[in-house]
Amino acid sequence: MGILEGKKILVTGVLTEASIAYATARIAQEEGATVVLSNFGRAMSLCQRIAKRLPREAPVVELDVTDAEHLATLADRLREHLGGEGATLDGVVHSIGFAPQEAMGEGFTEVAWEHAATAFQVSTWSLASLTHACRPLFGERASVVGLTFDASVAWPVYGWMGAAKAALESTSRYLARELGPEGVRVNLVAAGPLRSMAMKSIPGSEQFEDAWEKRAPLGWSVTDTEPSGRAVCALLSDWFPATTGEIVHVDGGFHAVGV
């Protein structure tokens, strides 16, 4: 029996097989979970195609976290795929992040608020809004897991996306504090650089790959999403019943060493 046997999980942001979200969905199914995916807009058709490559084709719901109507109706739309009235949701994977090109790179102080605001709304605030939207479906216990890129330091080229990730990490702690009494755990996985669509969109991201290759004690593969997906699934499971507000690093140990 798998560690997620019988659990029902929403995995957001699945776009390609190179993503942590896809690895999470695949491993979750292999561990016994029922999985629902989400995406929106032009990415919706890509997500639906990718859903067919999972061990069992997963349903896809439309979710744009900047659309109030999508958030307000999410619980009802998820129920259709989870067993109808009375259905519960055991886990949510927040794999959502976006910053306009204008918000990244150099010139941190020159970035217009509209670009920084987009990064914060999509990458940070959405963790709270997504959790709130799913809250009516949570039973006695639930687990919310988000993805971050270690925001304890400033990185080259990451710009306001780095600031948004720092706010995401703080948001996860506030959610953990508020929702803990309801049996909801909220944690993050801080993965090393991976050649996902998100990383490819960052100008100069090859600098991260070079740094990890030299410093990660365990080594690091920029194409292997399996370790990160396993960490997310472990946090979704009942194996961490007293862990919340935590950031689990899956980066080959890079975060623990100096130059």
pLDDT of amino acid 200: 60
pLDDT of amino acid 195: 80
Q: What is the pTM of this model?
A: 0.95
Decide if 7 is catalytic.
Answer: no
Q: Higher confidence at residue 141 or residue 207?
A: 141
What CATH number labels 8-250? 3.40.50.720
pLDDT of amino acid 206: 73
pLDDT of amino acid 207: 76
The average confidence (pLDDT) of the chain is: 94
Q: What is the mean pLDDT of residues 235-251?
A: 98
Catalytic residue among 22, 158, 200, 214: 158
Catalytic residue among 165, 174, 200, 214: 165
Report in angstroms the alpha-carbon separations of 240 from 19, 65, 148, 186, 235: 24, 28, 19, 11, 6
pLDDT of amino acid 205: 64
| Residue the block writes with tokens 């803990």 | 180
Sorted by where each begins, the domain ranges of the chain are 8-250
Radius of gyration of the chain (CA): 17
Segment 59-85, tens digit of pLDDT = 999 999 999 999 999 999 999 999 888
Decide if 165 is catalytic.
Answer: yes
Query: Does residue 24 have a pLDDT over 90?
Result: yes
d(CA 41, CA 75): 19
